Amino acid sequence: MNLRDKLLLAQVPLALALLVVGLLAVNTLDRVGRAGQDILADNYRSVLAMQRIIEHLERLDSAALFIVSGEQRRGVEQADAHFQPLELELRLQEGNITEPGETEATQELRRAWIRYRADYDAFVGLGAADARRGAYFETLSPAFRTAKAATQAILALNQDAMVRKSDALQRQSRRVNTLMVTAVVVALVGGLLASASLTHRALRPVAVLSQAVQRLGRGDLDTRAVVEGRDEIAGLARDFNSMAEALRQYRRSSLGELLQAQAASQAAIDSLPDPVVVFGVDGGVLNVNRSAEEVLRLSLEGAGGSLGQVTPEGRSVLERVRAHVLGGKGPYLPRGYEEAVRVEGPDGDRWLLPRGSPVYGEAGGVAGATVLLQDVTRLRRFDELKNDLVATVAHEFRTPLTSLRMAIHLCAEEVAGPISEKQADLLFAAREDCERLQGIVDDLLDLSKLQAGRIVLEVRRVSTESVLEDALAPHRAAADTGNVRLMAEPAPDGVEVAADPERLQLVLSNLVANAVRHTGPGGDVVVRARAEGERVRFEVADTGVGIAPEHQSRIFEKFYRVPGENTGGAGLGLSIAQEIVQAHGGEMGLTSQPGQGSTFWFTLPQAAARPG
């Protein structure tokens, strides 16, 4: 019998124990499930019907009050809308008698309803308002209370029955739990003992081989594993003995020591789960680990250590990091998840984030570069799940927020009746907060669409001069109020950018608004644009308070606000602006010194020259 059969035989007792426990669990859970369904079938429908009947009775009483107050048409329409639904619910209850005493209670409810309906019809037929008022308080209102009391009696009867059945179900569940725990413990202990005994017998030769391996690891090359038999472990022991003999002879040569050091180095990088590529000073590939061979399909054999067999996306990343490190710029650190590259694999797409470190030679200079592609697939998926959650919450806020805004607006405009001056102040404050919350929700939805790539940019040729003029106009009033000079430097003649005008204005408007808000009286805010090769660089410079260095690296993060500042926003404006710029294929950044102002900049591709 080989080792595989022995191990499978050792698992048979445990499998039988699990089968017994599973059958017992299915049977008991089925019994508990049927008991719970009985409660729903017997009582829940009656409870639901009684709650609806009470609601219909209260609506009918409200309709009667409308008629008493002189709103005949409104009251009759409301009453007509509830007579038939109440009758249907009562018939449902009459067909769902499940508890002792419920028949008499239902009959009492039927009599009370018939009496109330007759009184209601007589009440509606009265012509004089005084007669209706008297009939309501003397006849109709007592009939309403009687019918409602009969309904509540049936409701209480079914609710009490549900409590009793629930208590019985809990007692049954406790008995089932005790039985299940006992069965699991017995089956588990018995199965484990039997399996452990059989496994120990099957794997006893492994202990002998393990001891021989440990002695070999401590340097005893004369050790041998003595294992009798013809199974896999016996064959492994014979192979081990042959290896130990070869190692003993190998250790005696100096070449063996050198190769041993090289093997240890290779084993170290092979043990890393992320792809690792080592480049020489000339840019050629010197070494790769096993993960790089599997993920990037990069091999030192055949192609002479080049990157030709790597996918274009992966090759571009490797070349960029290699050029950075070998150019003497130090280690390469990614700025964020946006630098991750997608690589197709047998298990699905993977996202790899590049990092680079220089390899120094004996003279201290850069002798090579090590590039590690960190697998951030799970982190990226977590980030996508977080973005989806934020977008879902923001979307669900929209409908109730719209209703709330409309209700506050109607109250503030006194549509629902006159309000006092203090109430008006509170309503106007609430309306401002609603508008602010609406802006935050809109920003969240825009940001989620940008990150998911669901916003389609309508790119066309846009003049830089018109862009600068349109960016200043909405903010001149705020600048004049704060005594801030708002200026635009002359744009380069004939320079156009390829962009979505509406989205571009959103970016510039956000930057100008922030600059005006953080610039004190007498300060300047300047907007400029200039051509840089195939791109156009836009800048918004101010002479405001500036941004401390420790906050500059996080200023574009979602929901981040500089401590101590009360901007009134949620910290999404700059993040949205950066997403829009990156969607155009541009970059965004800032330069700032505390007390000396800030300059926010971004680049966009320059529109192609018009045909002659």
Question: What local confidence, expressed as pLDDT, does residue 67 receive?
Answer: 86
The answer, yes or no, to whether residue 299 has pLDDT greater than 90, is no
Tell me which amino acid residue 30 is: D
Q: How far apart are CA 397 and CA 242, in angstroms?
A: 72
441-493: pLDDT as tens digits: 666 666 565 555 556 678 888 888 888 888 888 888 888 988 999 998 887 87
Tell me which amino acid residue 25 is: A
Question: What local confidence, expressed as pLDDT, does residue 525 receive?
Answer: 93
Q: How far apart are CA 544 and CA 486, in angstroms?
A: 13
The answer, yes or no, to whether residue 526 has pLDDT greater than 90, is yes
104 falls in which pLDDT band (50, 70, 90)?
A: very high
Pick from 571, 578, 567: which is nearest to 604 by CA? 578
Question: What local confidence, expressed as pLDDT, does residue 52 receive?
Answer: 92
More confident residue, 361 or 419: 419
Query: Which whole number is the average pLDDT over 188-217?
Result: 74
CB 523 within 8 A of CB 544: yes
357 falls in which pLDDT band (50, 70, 90)?
A: confident
More confident residue, 496 or 424: 496
Question: What local confidence, expressed as pLDDT, does residue 431 receive?
Answer: 76
Pick from 366, 343, 367, 347: which is nearest to 275 by CA? 343
Query: Which whole number is the average pLDDT over 287-311?
Result: 70
CB 140 within 8 A of CB 119: yes
Question: What local confidence, expressed as pLDDT, does residue 173 receive?
Answer: 79
CATH 1.20.120.1730 assigned to 14-191: yes
Q: What is the CA radius of gyration of the chain?
A: 40
The 10 Å CB-count burial string (b at 16+, else e) for 294-327 is ebbebeeeeeebebeebeeebbebbeebbebbbe
Question: What local confidence, expressed as pLDDT, does residue 365 receive?
Answer: 77
Question: What local confidence, expressed as pLDDT, does residue 537 receive?
Answer: 92
Q: How far apart are CA 153 and CA 145, in angstroms?
A: 12
More confident residue, 152 or 411: 152
The answer, yes or no, to whether residue 177 has pLDDT greater than 50, is yes
Question: What local confidence, expressed as pLDDT, does residue 408 receive?
Answer: 78
The answer, yes or no, to whether residue 300 has pLDDT greater than 80, is no
36 falls in which pLDDT band (50, 70, 90)?
A: low
Question: What local confidence, expressed as pLDDT, does residue 570 receive?
Answer: 60
Question: What local confidence, expressed as pLDDT, does residue 565 receive?
Answer: 62
Q: How far apart are CA 472 and CA 529, in angstroms?
A: 13
Give the three-state DSSP class for 103.
Answer: helix
Q: What is the dihedral of CA 517, 520, 523, 525, to 10 degrees?
A: -10
Question: Which of 50-54, 222-226, 469-473, 497-501 is the least confident region?
Answer: 222-226
608 falls in which pLDDT band (50, 70, 90)?
A: confident
196 falls in which pLDDT band (50, 70, 90)?
A: confident
Please list the alpha-helical segments (H only) found in 271-416. 290-295, 312-326, 377-412
Question: What local confidence, expressed as pLDDT, does residue 538 receive?
Answer: 93
- Classify residue 55 as exposed, middle or buried by CB count within 10 Å of its CB (0-12, 13-18, 19+): middle
More confident residue, 522 or 341: 522
Q: Which of 51-55, 220-224, 247-251 has the highest mean pLDDT?
A: 51-55
The highest-level CATH class for domain 460-605 is alpha beta
Record the pTM: 0.40
Q: How far apart are CA 91 and CA 154, in angstroms?
A: 14
The answer, yes or no, to whether residue 564 has pLDDT greater than 60, is no
**In the chain, what is the greatest distance between 2 CA atoms, to the nearest angstrom?**
123
568-592: pLDDT as tens digits: 556 677 877 888 888 888 899 999 9
**What is the pairing mode between strands 460-463 and 366-375?**
unpaired
Q: How far apart are CA 398 and CA 378, in angstroms?
A: 31
Mean pLDDT taken over the chain: 79
The highest-level CATH class for domain 381-452 is mainly alpha
531-552: pLDDT as tens digits: 888 899 999 999 988 888 888 7
Give me the residue spans of the domains in the chain: 14-191, 269-374, 381-452, 460-605
The answer, yes or no, to whether residue 231 has pLDDT greater than 90, is no
CB 231 within 8 A of CB 203: no
Tell me which amino acid residue 453 is: G
362 falls in which pLDDT band (50, 70, 90)?
A: low
415 falls in which pLDDT band (50, 70, 90)?
A: confident
CATH of 269-374, one of 3.30.450.20, 3.40.50.1100, 3.90.180.10, 3.30.565.10: 3.30.450.20
The answer, yes or no, to whether residue 70 has pLDDT greater than 90, is no
Q: Cα–Cα–Cα angle for 448, 451, 457, nearest 5°?
A: 100
In angstroms, the Cα distances linking 329 to 82, 244, 334, 354, 357 are 80, 48, 14, 15, 10
More confident residue, 452 or 291: 291
Question: What local confidence, expressed as pLDDT, does residue 304 receive?
Answer: 47
Q: How far apart are CA 68 and CA 128, in angstroms?
A: 10
More confident residue, 101 or 287: 101
149 falls in which pLDDT band (50, 70, 90)?
A: very high
Q: How far apart are CA 319 and CA 601, in angstroms?
A: 27
Residue with tokens 């739990």, as numbered in its chain: 177
The answer, yes or no, to whether residue 122 has pLDDT greater than 60, is yes
**311 CB-near residues (< 8 Å, 6+ apart):** 296, 297, 343, 344
Question: What local confidence, expressed as pLDDT, does residue 55 receive?
Answer: 92
More confident residue, 574 or 219: 574
